[in-house]
C-alpha cells in the first residue's frame, strides 16, 4: 500500500515531511517488512540522513538532513536539547492536574516485548512536560513537550502518569477506539463498523530549531491527521 507524504519544508540542507501512520522513519530489524520513509523519500530527494525518529504509528513532523554538514549540526542540536518538540496524544483517563512533569530514567528494549522500561540504575535520564488541552468523559487531549528524546518516551511517561494513549499496543490495551463504545444508543452494524482510531493516538505536531547553515529559527508544523480529527469530533460530544 502506497503511503502519501506531505512535504512540510525542503531546501538543500533539510527535508521535513508529514509522516503517515504505519511507516518507519528508518529501517528496524523488528519490522523488516514495514515500509520505511527514508527509502521511499530518497527516490525523489536523494540521500537522507536521520536526525531523530518518530514511532511507526505516530504521525507528524519527521526531519532528515540532506548532507553530512547538516547532519552533524542537527545531531548536535538534538543532543544538546536545542530543539523544541510538541506532540498531541489522546489518552484514556482523566489527568489530575492541568500541567505536570515526568522525569524518569528509561532503558530501551528492556523486556521481552521490546518495551522501554523505567530503570533507575541503568536507564538514561528523560523529561517530558505535559499540559491538558481538552477534557472529555473518560478521555483527554494532552500536549506533550519532551525535553529529551528517548525511545517511546512520551508513551512511557504517560503510562507512568496512569494515562494510556488510545490504541497503544505496548503501553496500553491496544484496542481500537470504536464509535459504538462512545455512543450509548449507537445503532450501526458492529460487523461493519470501522474504528475511529486504530493506531497509537500520538501526533508530532511541531518542531523548532535553528537552521544548520543559515542560522534562522525554523518552525515546522504538521496538521492533525484525519483519524485524529474524527476522534476528537466524537469525543467533544462527551464533555465531562
Q: Whole-angstrom Cα distance, residue 119 to residue 111? A: 11
User: Which among 31, 33, 55, 189 is annotated as catalytic?
Assistant: 55
The answer to whether 114 and 30 are in contact (CB under 8 A) is: yes
Cβ pair 177, 196 in contact under 8 A: yes
User: Does residue 228 sit in helix, strand or coil?
Assistant: helix
Contact 152, 144 (CB under 8 A): no
Greatest distance between any 2 Cα atoms in the chain: 59
Strand partners, 164: 92
What SS3 class is residue 146?
A: strand
The DSSP annotation for 54-123 comes to --TT-EEEEEEESSHHHHHHHHHHHHTT--EEEEEEEEES--SSSEEEEEEEEETT-STT---EE-TTTP
Annotated active-site residue 55? The verdict is yes
User: Is 22:56 a contact under the CB 8 Å cutoff?
Assistant: yes
Active site residues: 55
Amino acid at each position: 500500500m502506497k503511503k502519501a507524504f506531505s512535504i512540510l519544508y525542503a531546501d538543500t540542507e533539510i527535508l521535513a515531511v508529514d509522516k503517515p501512520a504505519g511507516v518507519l522513519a528508518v529501517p528496524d530489524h523488528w519490522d523488516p517488512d514495514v515500509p520505511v520513509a527514508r527509502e521511499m523519500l530518497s527516490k525523489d530527494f536523494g540521500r537522507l540522513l536521520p536526525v531523530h525518529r518518530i514511532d511507526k504509528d505516530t504521525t507528524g513532523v519527521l526531519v532528515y538532513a540532506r548532507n553530512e554538514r547538516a547532519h552533524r549540526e542537527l545531531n548536535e542540536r538534538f543532543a544538546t536539547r536545542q530543539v523544541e518538540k510538541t506532540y498531541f496524544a489522546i489518552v484514556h483517563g482523566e489527568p489530575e492536574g492541568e500541567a505536570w512533569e515526568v522525569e524518569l530514567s528509561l532503558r530501551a528494549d528492556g523486556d521481552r516485548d521490546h518495551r522501554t522500561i523505567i530503570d533507575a540504575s541503568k536507564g538514561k535520564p528523560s523529561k517530558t512536560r505535559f499540559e491538558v488541552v481538552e477534557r472529555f468523559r473518560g478521555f483527554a487531549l494532552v500536549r506533550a513537550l519532551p525535553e529529551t528524546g528517548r525511545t517511546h518516551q512520551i508513551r512511557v511517561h504517560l503510562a507512568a502518569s496512569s494515562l494510556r494513549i488510545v490504541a497503544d499496543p505496548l503501553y496500553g490495551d491496544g484496542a481500537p477506539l470504536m464509535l459504538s463504545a462512545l455512543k450509548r444508543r449507537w445503532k450501526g452494524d458492529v460487523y461493519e463498523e470501522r474504528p475511529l482510531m486504530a493506531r497509537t493516538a500520538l501526533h508530532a505536531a511541531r518542531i523548532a530549531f535553528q537552521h544548520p547553515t543559515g542560522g534562522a529559527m525554523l518552525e515546522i508544523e504538521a496538521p492533525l491527521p484525519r483519524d485524529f480529527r474524527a476522534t476528537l469530533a466524537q469525543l467533544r460530544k462527551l464533555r465531562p
